[in-house]
């Protein structure tokens, strides 16, 4: 099986030589850039063990203290992300159902709410909550500023995913549920939603990646998550470059795993819907939801 | 509400700085993102790998970390510019990964017949992309592109939270912390400012989408 793309023909001998040369040139240039960066870093003493030691060297006396502190930050990040995604899914399902079942008068209200929440940057919401609530003596633990801010924003995105998911469940399911005498509410809750959630799973996991990323905004309210603890550690150890590098690596590692799970669950979904003869299910309708996962559009046959 | 009216000038200045950040970010991320997308569909494996690493790294990293890294990392490799440009370049690099994925999905949506026809009349890879595929791809990628760019406008608030100074978000800090005004009215002004920016942009993208929609 030859590896060709729809965009170009399978290269001949001359084309293959050109591609090899281009590949070599690109690799050289990139390696050159990397070398330049490393030389510059070394030149400024940024690669010294004095700065990296507390992070990577278990024999360093600050190693244990750093990772204790930093690991606590990781727990806070995961906790706030977990609470946020659960609340956002609950609110999102509610919003989607409200929007779909709303009458002529309540629909504009819900749409206005959705557009409003979508239009305000999360960082502003978090900042507003942390400034305004204490003014009215409604101070709550710092984590909730972060969680409420993230939930309010992502619930709207999840509502869109849920709406697409519900639309992707074949109409016959609702009709059959109504035909056996279930009320519209129960047919939604018992028949349609469970199937819709299965269809939405990949998109929901992809949304979780965004939620996790947004928890880093906790540094605005100094909620001790990964980034703000990193900030404090970097001030004490005087190695901001190294600490932020590690923060980035941790986020990327966790999110890559989540992305992998999302892709796996989507593959599993495609497999099961195919073996069941499709049954009119149309998971691709979920692609209509905004910012779904990587559609991986270029097909290499 | 008097606070908003009395400091309208300050808000307007803040809005202008935010718009400035967004316009630089828009131009920069569209160019960079399209280049990375071209790298990811090119026949050269090294370019594809580099593009994939670029996108996966940036997409999975919070924009805050990217910005921190730019502010603390770039001076260490000998790049020293005013903080404003660290913020803008961090925003551009971060958004470019989303623009790349939008453009790539657009390229994937162009019917294979188009590139086949282009090859059949003898166009090499670059002119084929330039004249045939990318002009059509941009129509398909307007919805995801709009999402990426609207998200960028919102992320510009984070650039402000780092203390670029003078943008819409830092207006609130200036008025509440430094001048001691109550937070609620000040922040309502900031929220209104962002809505003024984002709601029309969203509508504009909607119009653009309808205008360029293919008859299907």
Tell me the pLDDT tens digit for each residue of B115-156: 889 888 988 888 888 888 888 888 888 888 888 888 898 888
Q: Say yes or no to pLDDT of A242 above 70.
A: yes
Cα gap A235→A151, rounded to integer Å: 31
Q: Is A67 exposed, middle or buried (0-12, 13-18, 19+ CB in 10 A)?
A: middle
Residue B164: what pLDDT?
66
Inter-axis angle of helices B83-109 and B8-41, to 10 degrees? Answer: 50
Q: Say yes or no to pLDDT of A287 above 90.
A: no
Q: What average pLDDT does chain A have?
A: 80
Q: Smallest CA–CA separation between A207 and chain B, in Å? A: 12
Q: Closest Cα to residue A128, out of B187, B180, B45?
A: B187
Residues from chain B contacting residue A122 (CB–CB below 8 Å): 154
Residue A294: what pLDDT?
42
Residue A297: what pLDDT?
39
Bigger pLDDT: B30 or A241? B30
Are A158 and A89 spatial neighbours (Cβ–Cβ below 8 Å)?
yes
Cβ contact, residue pair B44, A23, below 8 Å:
yes
Helical (H) or strand (E) element with B196: helix B183-212
Are B157 and B172 spatial neighbours (Cβ–Cβ below 8 Å)?
no
Per-residue pLDDT reduced to its tens digit, B155-196: 888 887 776 667 777 777 777 776 777 777 778 888 888 888
Handedness of CA A169, A171, A172, A177 (dihedral sign): positive
Per-residue pLDDT reduced to its tens digit, A87-111: 999 999 888 888 888 778 888 888 8
Per-residue pLDDT reduced to its tens digit, A176-204: 999 999 988 889 889 998 888 888 888 88
Percent of chain A's residues with pLDDT above 70: 88
Cα gap B112→B121, rounded to integer Å: 15
The structure's pTM equals: 0.84
Please count the residues of chain A: 301
Tokens 């453009």 found at: B103
Question: Residue A72 has which token pair?
Answer: 């606590």
Are B58 and B90 spatial neighbours (Cβ–Cβ below 8 Å)?
no
Separate counts of helices (H) and strands (E) for chain A: 11, 0
Q: Say yes or no to pLDDT of A1 above 80.
A: no
Residues from chain B contacting residue A27 (CB–CB below 8 Å): 46
Cα gap A182→A184, rounded to integer Å: 6
Cα gap A232→B92, rounded to integer Å: 27
Bigger pLDDT: B31 or A295? B31
Q: Which residues contact B90 (CB under 8 A, 6 or more apart)?
A: B63, B66, B67, B69, B70, B71, B159
SS3 content of chain A, % helix, strand, coil (to 5): 80, 0, 20
- What distances in angstroms separate CA B118 from CA A14, A262, B37, one per listed residue? 20, 36, 19
Q: Nearest Cβ partner of B62 from A27, A213, A234? A: A213
- For B104-127, the three-class secondary structure string (H helix, E strand, C coil) is HHHHHHCCHHHHHHHHHCCCCHHH
A276 — pLDDT class (breaks 50, 70, 90): low
What is the b/e burial string over A16-50, where b = at least 16 CB atoms within 10 angstroms of the residue's CB? eeebeebbeebbeeeeeeeeeeeeebeeeebeeee
Are A158 and A291 spatial neighbours (Cβ–Cβ below 8 Å)?
no
A32 — pLDDT class (breaks 50, 70, 90): very high
Q: Say yes or no to pLDDT of A118 above 50.
A: yes
What is the b/e burial string over A89-123, where b = at least 16 CB atoms within 10 angstroms of the residue's CB? bebbbebbbbbeeeeeeeeeebeeebeebbbbbbb
- From A25-39, A162-176, A234-248, the region with the lowest mean pLDDT: A234-248
Residue A193: what pLDDT?
87
Question: Residue B2 has which token pair?
Answer: 């008097």
CA-nearest residue to A249 within chain B is B61
Cβ contact, residue pair A127, B60, below 8 Å:
no
Q: Closest Cα to residue A230, out of A91, A21, A66?
A: A66
Q: Say yes or no to pLDDT of B97 above 90.
A: yes
Residue A298: what pLDDT?
39
Q: Say yes or no to pLDDT of A51 above 50.
A: yes
Q: Which residues contact A125 (CB under 8 A, 6 or more apart)?
A: A148, A149, A152, A153
Q: Choose from B56, B57, B77 for mutation: most chain A CBs within 10 A.
A: B77
Q: Closest Cα to residue B156, out of B10, B16, B33?
A: B16
B91 — pLDDT class (breaks 50, 70, 90): very high
Residue B165: what pLDDT?
67
Residues from chain B contacting residue A133 (CB–CB below 8 Å): none
Handedness of CA B153, B159, B164, B166 (dihedral sign): positive
For chain B, report the end-to-end CA distance as a whole number of angstroms.
49
Residue A292: what pLDDT?
39
Are A183 and A297 spatial neighbours (Cβ–Cβ below 8 Å)?
no
Q: Nearest Cβ partner of B161 from A131, A220, A297? A: A220
Q: Say yes or no to pLDDT of A206 above 80.
A: yes
Residue B54 near chain A (CB below 8 Å): no
């Amino acid at each position: 099986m030859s590896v060709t793309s729809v965009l170009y023909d399978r290269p001949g001998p001359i084309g293959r030589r050109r591609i090899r040369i281009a590949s070599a040139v690109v690799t050289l240039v990139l390696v050159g850039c990397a070398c330049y960066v490393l030389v510059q870093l070394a030149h400024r003493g940024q690669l010294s063990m004095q700065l990296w030691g507390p992070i990577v060297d278990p024999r360093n006396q600050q190693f244990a203290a750093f990772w204790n502190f930093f690991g606590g930050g990781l727990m806070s990040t995961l906790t706030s992300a977990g609470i946020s995604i659960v609340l956002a899914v609950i609110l999102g399902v509610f919003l989607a159902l409200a929007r779909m079942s709303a009458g002529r008068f309540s629909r504009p209200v819900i749409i206005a709410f959705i557009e409003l929440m979508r239009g305000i940057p999360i960082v502003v919401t978090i900042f507003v909550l942390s400034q305004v609530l204490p003014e009215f003596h409604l101070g709550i633990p710092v984590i909730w500023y972060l969680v409420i801010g993230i939930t309010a924003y992502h619930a709207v995105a999840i509502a869109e995913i849920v709406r697409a998911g519900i639309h992707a469940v074949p109409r016959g399911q609702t009709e059959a549920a109504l035909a056996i005498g279930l009320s519209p509410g129960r047919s939604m809750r018992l028949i349609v939603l469970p199937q819709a959630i299965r269809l939405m799973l990949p998109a929901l996991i992809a949304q979780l990646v965004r939620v996790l990323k947004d928890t880093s905004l906790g540094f605005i309210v100094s909620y001790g998550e990964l980034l703000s603890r990193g900030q404090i550690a970097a001030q004490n150890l005087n190695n901001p470059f190294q600490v932020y590098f590690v923060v980035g690596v941790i986020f990327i590692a966790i999110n890559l795993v989540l992305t992998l799970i999302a892709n796996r669950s989507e593959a599993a979904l495609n497999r099961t819907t195919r073996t069941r003869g499709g049954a009119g299910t149309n998971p691709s309708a979920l692609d209509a939801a905004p910012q779904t996962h990587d559609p991986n559009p270029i097909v290499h046959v | 509400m008097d606070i908003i009216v009395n400091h309208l000038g300050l808000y307007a200045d803040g809005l202008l700085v935010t718009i400035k950040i967004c316009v630089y970010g828009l131009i920069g991320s569209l160019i960079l993102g399209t280049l990375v997308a071209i790298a990811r569909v090119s026949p050269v494996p090294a370019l594809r790998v580099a593009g994939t690493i670029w996108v996966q790294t940036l997409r999975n990293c919070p924009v805050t970390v990217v910005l921190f890294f730019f502010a603390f990392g770039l001076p260490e490799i000998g790049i020293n510019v005013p903080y404003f440009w660290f913020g803008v370049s961090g925003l551009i690099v971060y958004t470019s990964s989303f623009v790349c994925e939008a453009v790539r999905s657009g390229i994937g949506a162009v019917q294979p017949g188009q590139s086949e026809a282009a090859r059949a009349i003898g166009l090499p890879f670059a002119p084929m992309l330039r004249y045939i595929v990318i002009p059509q791809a941009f129509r398909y990628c307007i919805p995801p592109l709009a999402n990426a760019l609207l998200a960028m406008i919102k992320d510009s608030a984070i650039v402000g939270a780092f203390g670029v100074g003078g943008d819409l978000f830092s207006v609130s800090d200036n008025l509440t912390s430094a001048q001691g005004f109550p937070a609620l009215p000040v922040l309502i002004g900031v929220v209104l400012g962002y809505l003024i920016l984002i709601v029309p942009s969203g509508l504009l993208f909607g119009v653009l989408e309808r205008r360029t929609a293919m008859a299907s």
